[in-house]
Amino acid sequence: MIHPSGGWGYHLKAFCFAPFLWRNHRKNIAQVVSRFVRNNQLQGKVLVMVGASAGHELTCVDFSVFKKIIVFEPDGVAKILFRLRYGRWWPYVEWHRTAVVTGNESVFLGGDAVLWCNVLGQDSVSGKGFPLSAIGADPRPQCSFHDAVSGAESRGVMVEGRWASSATGAGFTRILLKDRRDGRREAISHWSGERNVTLVDHDTLNVFPDVTDARFWAWRLTPWSTHWVEAVTRPQE
């Protein structure tokens, strides 16, 4: 249950901080998903979600547009919490406690489109293999939101003020960039000058490498850690 990108620690953070710090992050995800649905005509279709956890980030997403949702999420506690939170959608959910990893890509071949729910790029932290090559070859419309760069205060709580604009996401404008590399440079520049911050690059430029448009925004996970989130969609919009 202890996993760098999920498990008890993640659920605890979500319960403590999501109501205060995640509002914009949740709205941004819902916007990305609704564009994805609109542009790929996914109304009434079957959506595959990988790494849904308890859906802590997905509370603003309108699941009613899908006929069915197939979830791949190995965390058993997440399943219980997801069911409690999204009880009304539960009859439309098919839950697999299966991790999608290199070698078993075929397990997630059902469904009309795939939503990677902040799971790609977690790999570089957890050291497990993801089927990035299989994703590239998969013809289904796919959307992924994931951490591009994470910054954690290494000593104490990040001082309010420097992060004031990103505390709730307000004022920390969501940007649409032509080149994903620019987005990452921009992200890193936000931390420059912060001497006590440890940065992790999630190495996510290889997620749909052919995609040039991406949306980025800051997600303040906790008072002491902020993720620079990237959302990419294929086919491109």
Least distance from ligand SAM to the Cβ atom of residue 75, Å: 4
Nearer to ligand SAM, 89 or 165 (CB): 89
24, 32, 47, 51: which one binds ligand SAM (CB under 6 A): 51
Restricting to residues 92-121, which ones interact with ligand SAM according to CB under 6 A?
99-101, 117-119
If one asks whether residue 52 binds ligand SAM (CB under 6 A), the answer comes out as yes
The answer to whether the CB of 115 falls within 8 A of the CB of 30 is no
6, 121, 141, 183: which one binds ligand SAM (CB under 6 A): 6
The answer to whether the CB of 95 falls within 8 A of the CB of 79 is yes
- Which residues, including other chains, have CB under 8 Å from residue 183's CB and lie 6 or more apart? 148, 175, 177, 214, 216, 230
The answer to whether the CB of 82 falls within 8 A of the CB of 53 is yes
Tokens of 154: 């290494």
Tell me which residue of 101, 142, 139, 136 sits closest to 122, measured CA to CA. 101
How far apart, in Å, are the Cα atoms of 231 and each of 59, 76, 94, 119, 162? 17, 26, 25, 12, 25
The answer to whether the CB of 175 falls within 8 A of the CB of 131 is no
Task: Name the one residue in this structure whose structure tokens are 């859906």.
Answer: 55
Q: Which stretch binds ligand SAM (CB under 6 A): 40-48, 56-64, 84-92, 169-177?
A: 56-64
If one asks whether residue 73 binds ligand SAM (CB under 6 A), the answer comes out as yes
How far apart, in Å, are the Cα atoms of 34 and each of 39, 58, 65? 8, 12, 9
If one asks whether residue 28 binds ligand SAM (CB under 6 A), the answer comes out as no
If one asks whether residue 3 binds ligand SAM (CB under 6 A), the answer comes out as yes
Nearer to ligand SAM, 74 or 223 (CB): 74
If one asks whether residue 136 binds ligand SAM (CB under 6 A), the answer comes out as no
The answer to whether the CB of 196 falls within 8 A of the CB of 162 is no
If one asks whether residue 74 binds ligand SAM (CB under 6 A), the answer comes out as yes
47, 50, 158, 218: which one binds ligand SAM (CB under 6 A): 50
Least distance from ligand SAM to the Cβ atom of residue 186, Å: 22
Nearer to ligand SAM, 59 or 165 (CB): 59
Residues that bind ligand SAM in the complex, under the rule CB under 6 A? 3, 5-6, 10, 50-58, 72-75, 78, 99-101, 117-119, 122
